[in-house]
Chain A
Amino acid sequence: MRRISALLPIGLGLLWIVSAVMSFPLGSLGEPGPALWPVIVGVLLVVMSLVLLLTERDGEDYEPFTRRSRLVALGVTSTAIFIVVFEYVGFLAAGFLLMLFWTRFLGRESWRLSLLVSAGTALAFYQIFGPMLGVPLPSPFT
C-alpha cells in the first residue's frame, strides 16, 4: 500500500507531463504555451512523490483493509448501479432501492426499519428537490 501511494502519483505526474508535451506547444518563459503549466505541476507531483518514497519511514498513517472494507466496495457498486439506473426507472424507485440496500444489507438494520426509512427518505427528498426546488427529476413516466 505504501509503495502504491507514492508510485501512483509519480505515474500520474509523468502521464500529465508526457501528454501535455505531446499535445500542445510548451512555449517559452516569455510566451508560455498551454503545456507549460501542466508540465510544471506534473514535475512538482513527481518530485514530491519521490520525496515521499524516499523519506517515509513508518506505515503509521496507513489503515489496513479489513473484511468490513468489502462493504465499501458494495456501497460504491450499488451507488454506481443507482446512477446508471436512475434515469430509466426514475428517482423514486432508484433512490428507494439504494437506501434499502444500504440500510438493510450494509447497515444490518431490520426489514421494518429499512423499508420505513428508505421509503420516507426517497419520498422526502423527491419532494424537496423536485417540486420544492424545481429540479427536473427523471421519472419512468416522462
Chain B
Amino acid sequence: MDTLNSIISGFSVVLSPENLLYVFLGVFIGMIIGVLPGLGSSATMALVLPFTFQLPAEGALIMLAGIYYGSMYGGTITSVLLRLPGESATVVTTFDGYQMAKQGRAGAALGIAAIGSFVGGTVAIVGLSFLAPPLAQFAIGFGAPEYTALAVLGILLVSYLGTKSFTKSLIAASAGLLLATIGQDPVAGTPRFTLGSLELLGGLDFLVLAVGLFGIADVLHNLDEQTSGRPTATTVSRVWPSRRDISQAKGAIGRGSVIGFFIGILPGGGGVMSSLASYAIEKRRAKEPQRFGRGAIEGVAGPETANNAGSTSAFIPLLTLGIPANSATAILYGALLLQGITPGPFLITREPDVFWGVIDSMYIGNLFLLIMSVPLVGIFIQILRVRLTILGPIAIIVTMLGTYSINNNVFDMWVALAAGVVGYFMMKSGFEPGPLVLAFLLGSLLETSFRKSLAISAGDLTIFVTRPVSATLFALIAIAIGISIFQYLRRRGRSDEHADRPALDSEK
C-alpha cells in the first residue's frame, strides 16, 4: 500500500541519529516545561522557535512536536503530585489523579497516564497516517470560498472551545484580525496602518507576537501571583499500575483514544476539549459514578489518553489543509513558514520527507515518552524546586534574545514587550491569548480568500453557500453560533432564578 510505503520511508528520515536526538530533546524539554507551572507548551514552543531556525525543516518540526506532547505528560506529573495543572489539558487529571496520590497510588496514576498517553498517541498517529493523504487529496479541490469558510470555522471553534468566555475570545480574535491588517494590503499592496514606518510595512511578525503574548505575559503574570507555600509533593513509590488497575482502565483508554482523535481533528479542538469530554463520558458510563473525584483510575486513564490523541490529531488540519487548529499548531505553522515551507494540501507531495518524517517522529516520540517517564519522574520533582524567581528572568532574557535574533532588529523586541504587556492585561481580565494569535495568523489568509471569492463571483455573496463544501462549512458555522446563543439564553433564564455556575478552575 502506498501509505505504508510512505510511513516506512518516513522512518528512514526519523531514525537518523540527528533526528532521534531532536525527538529526544524535544520530549525532554517538553516534559521539563510541562512540569513547571508558569510556562505553557505554546510559550515554550514560541521561545524555542528562533533556535530551530538553524535546524533543517524536519529537525525543527520534530523537536517542536516533541515539546508539544512532552509537555502534555509533564503537566500530568504536576497535576497528580501537586494538584497543579502544568498544562491546561491536564486540568482534568487533577480531579482524580491527586486523590490517587493522596491514597499512595501516585505511581499507578502516573503509570496509567503514561500508558494511556502512549496508546492514545499511537492510535491517533495511525489514524493520521491513513486519514491524512486522502484528506489532502480532497483538499486540493478547495478554492478560495472553502478556505474562507475553514478559516472562519477555525477561529470560531477556537474561541468557542476556550476555557473562558466565548464573547471575550471572539473579541480577542477580532483584535488579532485587526492586527493582521497592519502592513501591506495582500491584494493591492497599499500600506495600511503603518504610520509611515518602514518596519511596520512588512506587518507584525507572528513569532514576535506569540513570544510576547504567551511567553512574556506568562512571566509577568507569575510575578503578580501570590506564591503561597506549595503543597509538598507526595512520595512516589512504584511508577507502575497494578494488573488490576490496568484491566479497570482498559475501556477508558480505548474510548479516550477515539474521542480524543475525533475532537482533535476539529479546527479549534485539541487536548483540553478531548480530556473534558472523556472525563464526562467515563463518569456517565461508570457503574459507580461516586468514585469519580475520589481516585477513580478511569478518571485519569481516559482523559490522559484523550488529550494525547487529541493533540496529535490536531496536526491533521495543519498538515493536510494548512490550517492550524490551535495555538500550538499555529506555532508549528510559523515554524514551517520560517523554513520557507507553506503548509497546505500540497505539503504531502512536495515535501514528503517533512510530512512523513514528522508523523513518524510522533511514533518514536510517544515511545520515548513511555520509556522516559518512569526514570525521570524523580528528576522532575527536583526541578520543581527551581524557583520561578530565577526562571522568570531567564525566560525574559531568552525572549529578548530570541526576538532580536529573528531580524537583528530592536523594533521586534519592543513589539514583543508590548505584546507581553497586552497579554498580561488580557490574562487579568479573562481574555485568552490563543484566539488572538490564531486569528492573527489566519488573518491574511482569511482576507485574501475572502477577496478572491468576491472577485470570482463578481461581488455575489451567495458564492459561499452555493459551492457544496463551503456551504456545509458555513452551515456548521451557523449551527455553532446558533447553539451558543441558545445556551446563553438558557443560562440567562436559569440564572434569573438562582445564581449558580459550576466553577472550573483552569490555568493556562
**Residues of A participating in the B interface, judged by any CB pair closer than 8 Å:** 1-2, 5, 9, 12-13, 16, 19-20, 23-24, 28-34, 36-38, 41-42, 44-45, 48-49, 51-52, 55-57, 60-63, 65-66, 68-69, 71-72, 75-76, 79-80, 82-83, 86-87, 91, 95, 98-99, 102-103, 106-109, 113, 117-118, 121-122, 125, 129, 133-137
Q: Is A45 in contact with B410, judged by CB distance below 8 angstroms?
A: no
Nearest-CB residue, chain B, relative to A68: B224
In the assembled complex, B331 has its CB within 8 A of some CB on chain A: no
Determine whether the beta carbon of B389 is less than 8 Å from that of A87: no
CB-defined contacts of A28 to chain B, threshold 8 Å: 459
Chain A residues positioned under 8 Å from B168 (CB to CB): 5, 52, 61
Distance (whole angstroms) from the CB of A90 to the closest CB of chain B? 13
B167, CB-defined interface residue at 8 Å: yes
A45–B400 contact, CB under 8 A?
Answer: no
Please determine whether A37 and B495 come into contact, CB atoms closer than 8 angstroms: no
Whether B192 lies near A38 (C-beta < 8 A) is yes
Question: Does B479 count as interface, using CB distance less than 8 angstroms?
Answer: no
- Which residues of chain B are within 8 angstroms of A95 by Cβ–Cβ distance? 397, 401
- Whether A41 pairs with B174 at a CB distance below 8 angstroms is yes
6 inter-chain pairs at a CB distance below 8 angstroms, sorted by A residue, are A29-B459, A30-B454, A55-B167, A66-B224, A107-B389, A137-B404
B224 touches A71 (CB 8 A): yes
Which chain A positions have C-beta within 8 A of B392?
102, 106-107
- Indicate if the CB atoms of B223 and A71 lie closer than 8 Å: yes
Beta-carbon contact of B220 and A87 below 8 Å: no
User: In the bound complex, what is the Cα–Cα distance between A62 and B167 (angstroms)?
Assistant: 15
Residue of B nearest to A100 (CB): B393
How distant is the Cα of A59 from the Cα of B286 in the complex, in angstroms? 36
Partner-A contacts on B (CB < 8 A): 51, 54, 164-165, 167-168, 170-171, 174-175, 177-178, 181, 185, 187-188, 190, 192-193, 219-220, 223-226, 387, 389-390, 392-394, 396-398, 400-401, 404-405, 408, 410, 413-414, 417, 420-421, 424, 427-431, 447, 450-451, 454-455, 458-461, 488, 495, 501
**Nearest Cβ on chain B to A101's Cβ, whole angstroms:** 8
Q: How far is the CA of A95 from the CA of B401 in the complex (A)?
A: 9
* B residues in contact with A48, CB < 8 Å: 167, 170-171, 174
Pair A37/B171 contact, Cβ less than 8 Å: no
Contact B424–A72 (Cβ < 8 Å):
yes
In the assembled complex, the CB of B107 is this many whole angstroms from the nearest CB of chain A, namely 34
A20 contact set on B, CB distance < 8 A: 192-193
A31 touches B459 (CB 8 A): yes
Q: Complex: how many Å from CA A23 to CA B428? A: 35
CB pair A103 B389 closer than 8 Å: yes
Docked pose: A130 CA to B408 CA in angstroms: 12
**Partner pick for B175 among A23, A45, A99, A117, CB 8 A cutoff:** A45
Question: Which of chain B's residues have a CB closer than 8 A to the CB of A83?
Answer: 400, 410, 413-414, 417
| Cβ-defined contact, A24 with B192, below 8 A | yes
- The contact of A121 among B188, B397, B455, by CB within 8 Å, is B397
Q: Once bound together, how far apart are the Cα atoms of A118 and B396, in whole Å?
A: 12
Interface contact A82-B458, CB-CB below 8 Å: no
In the A-B complex, the 7 residue pairs with the smallest Cβ-Cβ separation, listed nearest first, are: A61-B430, A107-B389, A30-B459, A102-B393, A29-B459, A45-B174, A34-B185
Max chain A C-beta neighbours (<10 A), residue from B171, B177, B394, B410: B171
Partner of A9 from the list B51, B175, B220 (CB cut-off 8 Å) is B175
B396 nearest in chain A by CB position: A79
Chain A residues within 8 Å of B225, by CB: 68
